[in-house]
Amino acid sequence: MDDGRLSVVVVGAGYWGPNLVRNFNLSPDWHVAAVCDRELDRAERLAWTTRSAVAVASIEEALAIEGVDAVAIATPARTHEAIALAAIAAGKHVLTEKPLADNVESGERMVSAAAEAGVVLMADHTFCYTPAVLKIAELIRAGELGEITFVDSVRINHGLVQPDVDVFWDLAPHDLSILDFILPDGLRPEAVSAHGGDPLGLGKACVGYLIMRLGKGVVAHVHANWLSPTKIRQLVVGGTRRTLVWDDLNPTQRVSVYDRGIDFVTVTEDAERAAAQVSYRYGDTWVPALPEVEALSLMVAEFAASIREDRAPRTDGRAALRVLRVLDATSRSLEAHSAPAEVAAEQKEIIA
């Protein structure tokens, strides 16, 4: 754009596409050039909201538009690879909705192609751009919690049962991407154990419990559920110094930091003496102030900044691959009746 804005095509005018179009359209960094959807009338209705974008029915038409810098994909995960590779081959930067792809191999091809083409590949891990998660990451990096001792995440509500994926692939990417963002070394569990329930007989897990071994005796737990009549969005991160609780449904106290914990004075071979040397610490609780900013507005700003500064975005393709590898291991654990499944190691050529 002559005015310095970057030009983007949003592919997919269904559930998530309108949110992307609105935030790109409001951003001073972006101009929405087109909305692409196989249902052209749906694309036209969404394009009309920008007052300037055109509507097209195919990715080929979208990529033929002059001056397009980037493509944002808001379609089912099984379609991400084909759209992303076409955009990358045309020299466009790419943003994909979560998860990055529907399998690890597709995700690896996308990351490799973007690296070879020298374009940005970014995952729309929206929760990583919420003020609460940004504050949590800041506190952990600053050592306010000490060493991480456990993580417990709950994401449950009534609906929407997806036709093509189980509850892990639908809801857990949010929690996994958050953990990858806030943990000092990213999400690199040694193995995972997944327990799924299908009380409705749908042939897929509607209720899920995921256990991840993070090393040094640290365990992370994710609970995902489509069937709960109540909605809970909560994350608890325990540390050797403090424990943090994020309640996303509490607007007045989203993040709380508790100066409480359990200390071991010494460790002895005498079990009775060791038990007696446990010290319970009860301190203050404080609630950090958080700005009220829409996460998607920060996300599209980060996408633009990473392109202009020629750097990896906060939630780049490699971060998305780490999430994808955990989801893959989760599926393998379910198939093995909840037996632990190792998480595939990162490929050196992709890391490079």
CATH number at residue 204: 3.30.360.10
Average pLDDT of the segment spanning 155-167:
87
Domain that holds residue 263: 128-286
Q: What is the pLDDT of residues 189-230, one digit of tens each?
A: 989 999 999 999 989 999 999 999 998 889 999 999 999 999
Report the chain's mean pLDDT, rounded to a whole number. Answer: 92
Q: What is the DSSP string of 23-64?
A: HHHH-TTEEEEEEE-SSHHHHHHHHHTTSS-EEESSHHHHHT
Q: What percent of the chain has pLDDT over 70?
A: 93
Average pLDDT of the segment spanning 300-328:
97
- 233 with 134, same domain: the answer is yes
Residue 185 tokens read as 């070394």
- 300 with 328, same domain: the answer is yes
Residue 137 within a domain: yes
- 279 with 341, same domain: the answer is no
- 181 with 308, same domain: the answer is no
The pLDDT of residue 90 is above 60: yes
Which among 286, 307, 329 is the end of a domain? Answer: 286
Residue 1 within a domain: no
The answer to whether the Cα torsion of 45, 46, 47, 51 is positive or negative is positive
pLDDT at 349: 45
**Which residue(s) pair with 152 in the sheet?**
221, 236
- 81 with 208, same domain: the answer is no
- 146 with 96, same domain: the answer is no
Average pLDDT of the segment spanning 63-88:
97
- 146 with 270, same domain: the answer is yes
- 142 with 119, same domain: the answer is no
Residue 119 within a domain: yes
